[in-house]
Amino acid sequence: MRHLILALTPLALLFAGSALAHPGHLSHSHTGSFMAGLTHPLTGLDHLLAMAAIGLWSFRQAGALRRAMPLLIALGMLAGASLAWMGIPLMGVEFGIASSVLLAGVLLASLVRLPSALGGMLVFAFILLHGHAHGSELAPGASALLYAAGFVATSVAITLTGRVLGEWLSRRDNRWLRGIGAAIAATGGTLLMG
């Protein structure tokens, strides 16, 4: 496991400068399209890592939280984007997003099980920030509905893929999950510092 962490941490640091998937990252000429919504969560390391870590972590949670995870992801993304579209700012969104990467990585590395209500609130809070950042990038006159449908679909897909991968890895050795979580947490720490 130590070798995995040592191997992945420098790799994560190489991508830290391009990790902020938010203001100014995408060309806004296609930001309102369904395809832009589908691809946007894949172009930012911060969003990709947070969603993957939540998915990897979620398979070990109680059944209620595990079953609710896709809905929590969708509702959090839509709620955050809606706040942005209504012009309601959230303080420290980028700091919160970097923190969500760090904390999701810590949750995964520790393999902690949380009560469903607490875990659900934490995930919703993380995702609300990501949704706000995505929503703030909607180009004027673009279709919010198409853009949101795309980024919600991809965010849920990343999380569910993470869950399946988490189940597969746990059958082999939990050290892989811990190592991946540590690498994600290290990347989140780097984002917080940079």
Q: Let me know if residue 175 belongs to a domain.
A: yes
The answer to the question of residue 96 being in a domain is yes
C-beta neighbour count of 112 within 10 angstroms:
12
Structural domain boundaries enclosing 175: 40-192
Is 20 domain-assigned? no
- Provide the 10 A C-beta neighbour count for residue 66: 15
In angstroms, the CA 127 to CA 156 distance is 11
22: nearest Cα among 102, 99, 98: 98
Q: Is the whole-model pTM more than 0.85?
A: no
Q: How far apart are CA 173 and CA 65, in angstroms?
A: 23
Has residue 161 been placed in a domain?
yes
DSSP conformation class of 17:
G
pLDDT digits (tens, 9 = 90+) for 75-94: 999 999 999 999 999 999 99
User: Per the structure, how many domains does the chain have?
Assistant: 1
Residue with tokens 């969603």: 51
- Whether 27 is in a domain gets the answer no
22 in any annotated domain: no
What's the pLDDT score for residue 30?
A: 46
- Summarised one tens digit per residue, pLDDT across range 54-74 is 999 999 999 999 999 999 999
Digit-by-digit pLDDT tens for the chain (194 residues) are 444 444 444 334 333 333 444 444 444 444 458 988 898 899 889 999 999 999 999 999 999 999 999 999 999 999 999 999 999 999 999 999 999 999 999 999 999 999 999 999 999 999 999 999 999 988 778 899 999 999 999 999 999 999 999 999 988 888 999 999 999 999 999 999 98
Categorise residue 63: left if φ over 0, alpha if ψ from -120 to 50, beta otherwise: alpha
Whole-angstrom CA distances from 177 to 4, 20, 56, 118, 158 are: 10, 24, 8, 22, 16
Question: Is residue 17, in this structure, part of any structural domain at all?
Answer: no
pLDDT of residue 182: 97
CB crowding 131-146: b at 16 or more within 10 Å, else e: bbbbbbbbbeebbeee
Q: In this structure, is residue 5 part of a structural domain?
A: no
Contact status, residue 5 vs residue 177, Cβ threshold 8 Å = no
192 contacts 98 by C-beta, under 8 angstroms: yes
